[in-house]
Amino acid sequence: MKSTFMIGGDLPVFRMGYGAMRLCGQPGNFGPYPEWESGKELLRRAVELGVNFIDTAHPYGPGFNEEIISDALAPYSGGTVVTTKGGVEKTAPDKVFADGKPESLRRFCEASLRRLRLDRIDLYQLHKPDSAVPFCESVGALAELRDAGKIRHVGLSNVSLAQICEAEAIVPVCSVQNRYNFEERGDDPIVDYCERKGIAYLPWGPLAAKPFAPEAPLTEDSDTSRLAMVGRRIGATAGQVALAWLLERSSCIVLIPGTTSPKHLMENVQAASLELSREDLAELNAVG
């Protein structure tokens, strides 16, 4: 299992990243994280453990998630890559909507640059296609931001294979961030496409306990699936097996599991070095 992936051909990242979304207020990931200082310590601990790829987005907070990252880590060192997203607006915990207008994307990007304390964002992703805006116009706005030196590489999130191909006709696509995990494999064709094209695939919801459920850590006690059975046999948690399976699934996969727990953070990082045998993989991939 390769431990790094080269995003865009020039950004080496450890394949076990960190999804910072949970470092927000609740409910609805709205408002500042109430344990701000402990959140900063968690981010710093992640970097100490070798994590150099951190995922966030404008609507996480909104804005506060980017601020806690820069408060903890700026000025960034050790090749740390912070990827953020624009194209979704959040005005209340339960009021979230796509906004892919070119002028909005430019505004979102400029605000993210300020909050993250960056001159250029290494990887900037369209958070979600906006049905009210031609997809090519949203992608074109990101291409213009790239040409202007505001962003280094362009990524997409919550997209179909057809949309990826449409975007590639406008600008090089360096990442795709869709929902995918051990239980939800509908994106298999996109994962395979990304592997062929050298595009980073960033699965969100990598630890979902069951299809279409919110992400929650899998545990040996609460899960009796093949994940837990394999985990008990090799001395790992079900969650660690789920993450290791994803890393084995494709060399283009870069994981971004989120947590607010230092213990869980350590478990996630350790999963990157977990070795699954052929027998383990055969059992995990068995149908039925």
Residues noted as catalytic: 60
Taking the C-alpha atoms of residue 155 and residue 169, their distance in angstroms, rounded to an integer, is 14
Q: Tokens at residue 141, please?
A: 């706005």
Q: Dihedral sign, CA of 125, 130, 135, 139?
A: negative
> Of 184, 185, 142, which is closest to residue 163 (Cα–Cα)?
142
The identity of residue 140, as a single letter, is G
CA torsion through residues 244, 268, 218, 174, sign: negative
One-letter-per-residue 3-state SS of 81-134 = EEEEEECEEEEECCEEEECCCHHHHHHHHHHHHHHHCCCCEEEEEECCCCCCCC
As a whole number of angstroms, the distance between CA 155 and CA 79 comes to 19
Query: Which residues have a Cβ under 8 Å from the Cβ of 156 and sit 6 or more positions away?
Result: 125, 126, 139, 163, 164, 167, 173, 175, 176, 177
Residues in the chain: 288
Angle at 28 between CA 23 and CA 30, to 5 degrees: 60
Give DSSP secondary structure letters for 6-61.
Answer: EETTTEEEESB-EEGGGSS-TTTTBS--TTHHHHHHHHHHHHHTT--EEE--TTTB
CA separation for the pair 44, 23 (Å, rounded): 13
Nearest of 99, 100, 102 to residue 90 by alpha carbon: 99
